[in-house]
Amino acid sequence: MSRLAKKPIIIPAKTTVTFLNNVVTVNGPLGTLSRAFPKVVVVTIEGSEILVTLNSVAREHKALLGTAVSHIRNMVAGVNKAYEKKLIIEGVGYKADAKGQKLNMALGYSHPVNLDAPEGVTVVTEKGSITISGINKEAVGQFAAVVRSWRVPEPYKGKGIRYSDEVIRRKQGKKTA
């Protein structure tokens, strides 16, 4: 059994959780999240606690238990406090501008990079940084990874887009004679 599933998930105040037809729906102050799970995952809601178990002992199904618990924990946390990723842009001429759900970036290419933020994800830009936030942890992390992938930081000058807590290992450049 998964170690994560041994402890119940606590439901905070102002949050409701329902499990119907293998779909878990979490409703909280910031919004609503839903996720479908396989039929072998059984979610039991008792008062202010959620217990996740399996109705199968197959090895393939045991691997789903910890994942299901993590998804439900992230959903409960997300509807109460939004997830946030901060990206830092470094480089001469590299800049980003967010208008509504569109993110426009100049990253040294011959063309501007235009990205549409997924639904439920908000993008805010400041000088040299991009802040991506939303209640769905998976969507926030995926969009931050897509933005970063357009100009991954390089190890010689550190130019590119990096996470705020990411450390880039720098390399020594060419030595002159």
Output the pLDDT for position 1: 63
Percent of the chain clearing pLDDT 70 (strictly above): 99
Same structural domain, 7 and 51: yes
- Quote the pTM value: 0.90
Give the domain extent around 118: 83-163
Output the pLDDT for position 176: 79
Q: Is residue 176 part of a domain?
A: no
Cα 94 to Cα 91: distance, rounded to the nearest angstrom = 5
Q: Is residue 144 part of a domain?
A: yes
The last residue of one of the domains, among 45, 78, 111, is 78
Same structural domain, 64 and 111: no
Looking up residue 11, the CATH number of its domain turns out to be 3.90.930.12
Q: For residue range 42-54, list pLDDT tens digits in order.
A: 999 998 999 999 9
Of 115, 83, 88, 82, the residue nearest 99 (C-alpha): 115
Q: For residue range 108-163, list pLDDT tens digits in order.
A: 999 999 999 999 999 999 999 999 999 999 999 999 999 999 999 999 988 999 99
Same structural domain, 58 and 111: no
